[in-house]
C-alpha cells in the first residue's frame, strides 16, 4: 500500500484501465478520430524526434514522423 493513500482507499486505476474505460470524444467525425489515433501512435512510437502535421484547407492531409537516434 502507498504511504500517501489512506487505509481502506481504493487503488488508482492504471493507465491501461483508464484508456479502456475512457469514452470517445463527442462531436468528432470518424476521420477526425482516425487522425487523432494516428498522431497518438506516431507520438508513442518515437523517443526523440518530431511529428509534423500537414494541413490543407482545414484538413489533416499528412503526418510525418522523424525519429532521432542518439548514440551518446
- What count of other Cβ atoms lies within 10 Å of the Cβ of residue 62? 9
**DSSP label at residue 29:** -
pLDDT of residue 2: 44
pLDDT at residue 66 tops 90: yes
Q: Are 67 and 47 in contact (CB under 8 A)?
A: yes
- Would you state the pLDDT for residue 70? 85
Rounded Cα–Cα distance for residues 54 and 22 (Å)? 28
Distance CA 17, CA 11 (A): 12
pLDDT bucket at 72, cuts 50 / 70 / 90? confident
Which residue did the predictor score with more confidence, 31 or 16?
Answer: 31
pLDDT at 65: 96
- Whether the model clears a pTM of 0.75, i.e. scores above it, the answer is no
Residue 44 has pLDDT above 60, yes or no: yes
Amino acid at each position: 500500500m502507498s504511504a500517501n493513500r489512506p487505509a481502506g482507499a481504493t487503488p488508482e486505476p492504471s493507465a491501461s484501465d483508464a484508456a479502456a474505460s475512457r469514452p470517445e470524444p463527442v462531436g468528432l467525425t470518424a476521420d477526425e478520430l482516425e487522425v487523432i489515433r494516428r498522431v497518438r501512435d506516431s507520438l508513442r512510437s518515437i523517443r526523440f524526434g518530431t511529428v509534423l502535421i500537414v494541413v490543407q484547407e482545414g484538413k489533416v492531409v499528412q503526418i510525418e514522423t522523424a525519429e532521432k537516434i542518439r548514440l551518446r
